């Protein structure tokens, strides 16, 4: 990757059509660059397939690029996302693990379709499939887009709130990767493991404490302090957590789409003071 200088604009969490984003990797790169991002990471869910196109596009634009991935993990019966940054995109062990993680999505998507049919909305599985560019990566987001476009719900937010959010009637819980395996894959691929958007998880304080401890013991080194889904209060909260547990701090918009994402690429506040940025781990 291109070596970044101090004071640069980083965005280290984003998605393309290779997972549940709506722009191709090269178009995410162009949008990041246009928005002033100087060091960008593409972090598609459970998939590294977009990284060669992303790296090439970033290189042509003269923008720093960090190869990344966002891995779906089940920990304490809930889903946690771990971002691997500065990974070797071609690492065989990592890619085998990701392929195994993706494998359960096909059946899950069919079962989500059945649940939605039972709720009076037939045809959602068939409807969602064409929204997924990558047939191995049908996600809840693709269902949600179909359901909005077909008039079943007014917007993405309400689809999740009514049907698809964790624990809602059409959310089919599955066992993703274990935290242990996920960390092994990221570290073996030379990456830095970052706990994504901690503000999203519905753990108790006790469970969070255990999660941070286990994550750190397994070689996890950073948490997202600035995340597209975090409130300004959560920036402060997770800055405190990072200092308390000795984590490096990461920042990323979690951009998926120009019309859906609350925060656009590069449109993030700077990291709060007294934190060590995650990029010190590789630059």
Q: Candidates 1-9, 89-97, 154-162, 274-282 — which segment interacts with ligand AMP by CB under 6 A?
A: 154-162
Q: Is the dihedral of CA 133, 48, 111, 104 positive or negative?
A: positive
**H-helix or E-strand spanning residue 79:** strand 78-85
Q: Where are the alpha helices (DSSP H) in 35-75?
A: 51-61
| By CB under 5 A, residue 145 contacts Mn ion | no
Shortest gap between Cβ of 149 and ligand AMP (angstroms)? 15
Q: Which of 81, 91, 140, 230 binds Mn ion (CB under 5 A)?
A: 81
* Tokens describing residue 24: 């191709």
Within residues 8-27, the interface with ligand AMP by CB under 6 A covers: 20
Structural tokens at position 264 = 């656009």
Interface with Mn ion, residue 20, by CB under 5 A: yes
Determine the Cα–Cα distance for residues 82 and 97; give it in Å rounded to an integer: 14
129: which DSSP letter? G
Least distance to ligand AMP from the beta carbon of 147, Å?
12
Query: Smallest distance from the beta carbon of 209 to ligand AMP, in angstroms?
Result: 24
Pick the closest to residue 25 from 1, 59, 52 (CA basis). 52
Tell me the residue number closest to ligand AMP, measured at CB: 139
Which residue in this structure is represented by tokens 């008039």?
Answer: 151
Quick one: 46 or 254, whose CB is closer to Mn ion? 254
For Mn ion, the closer of residues 93 and 229 by Cβ is: 229
| Residues in touch with ligand AMP (CB under 6 A) | 20, 45, 72, 139-141, 156-157, 160, 165, 256
């Amino acid at each position: 990757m291109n070596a970044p200088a101090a004071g640069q604009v980083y965005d280290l969490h984003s998605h393309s059509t290779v997972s549940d984003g709506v722009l191709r990797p090269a178009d995410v790169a162009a949008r990041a660059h246009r928005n002033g991002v100087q060091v960008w990471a593409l972090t598609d869910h459970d998939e590294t397939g977009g990284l060669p196109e992303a790296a090439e596009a970033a290189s042509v634009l003269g923008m720093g690029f960090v190869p990344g991935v966002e891995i779906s993990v089940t920990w304490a019966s809930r889903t946690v996302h771990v971002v691997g940054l500065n990974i070797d995109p071609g690492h065989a062990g990592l890619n085998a693990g990701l392929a195994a993680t993706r494998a359960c999505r096909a059946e899950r998507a069919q079962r989500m379709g059945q649940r939605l049919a039972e709720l009076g909305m037939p045809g959602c599985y068939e409807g969602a499939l064409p929204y997924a560019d990558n047939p191995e990566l049908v996600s809840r987001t693709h269902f949600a887009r179909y359901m909005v476009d077909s008039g079943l719900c007014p917007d993405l937010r309400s689809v999740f709130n009514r049907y698809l959010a964790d624990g809602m009637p059409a959310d089919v819980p599955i066992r993703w990767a274990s935290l242990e395996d996920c960390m092994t894959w990221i570290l073996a691929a030379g990456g830095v493991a970052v706990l994504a958007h901690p503000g999203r998880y519905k753990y108790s304080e006790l469970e969070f404490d255990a999660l941070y401890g286990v994550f750190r013991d397994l070689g996890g080194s950073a948490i997202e302090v600035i995340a597209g889904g975090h409130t300004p209060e959560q920036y402060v909260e997770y800055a405190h957590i990072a200092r308390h547990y000795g984590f490096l701090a990461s920042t990323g918009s979690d951009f998926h789409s120009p019309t859906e994402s609350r925060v656009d690429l590069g449109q993030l506040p700077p990291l709060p003071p007294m934190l060590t940025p995650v990029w010190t781990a590789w630059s």
